[in-house]
Amino acid sequence: MKDEELQKLVESISEEWFELSFNHAATFNSRLRTTGGRYLLRSHNLEFNKKHFDQFGMEELIGIIKHELCHYHLHLKRKGYKHEDQDFKKLLNQVGGSRYCQVVPGQRRIEDYKHLYECRDCMTKYKRKRKMDTAKYVCGRCRGRLRKIS
Which residues are part of the catalytic machinery?
68
Amino acid sitting at position 31? R
| Residues facing 27 on adjacent strands | 47
| 3-class secondary-structure state, position 126 | strand
Query: Sign of the C-alpha dihedral, residues 129, 130, 135, 136?
Result: negative
Q: How far is CA 12 from CA 9, 18, 50, in A?
A: 5, 10, 19
Alpha-carbon gap, residue 79 to 88, rounded angstroms:
8
Helices and strands: H and E segment counts in the chain: 4, 6
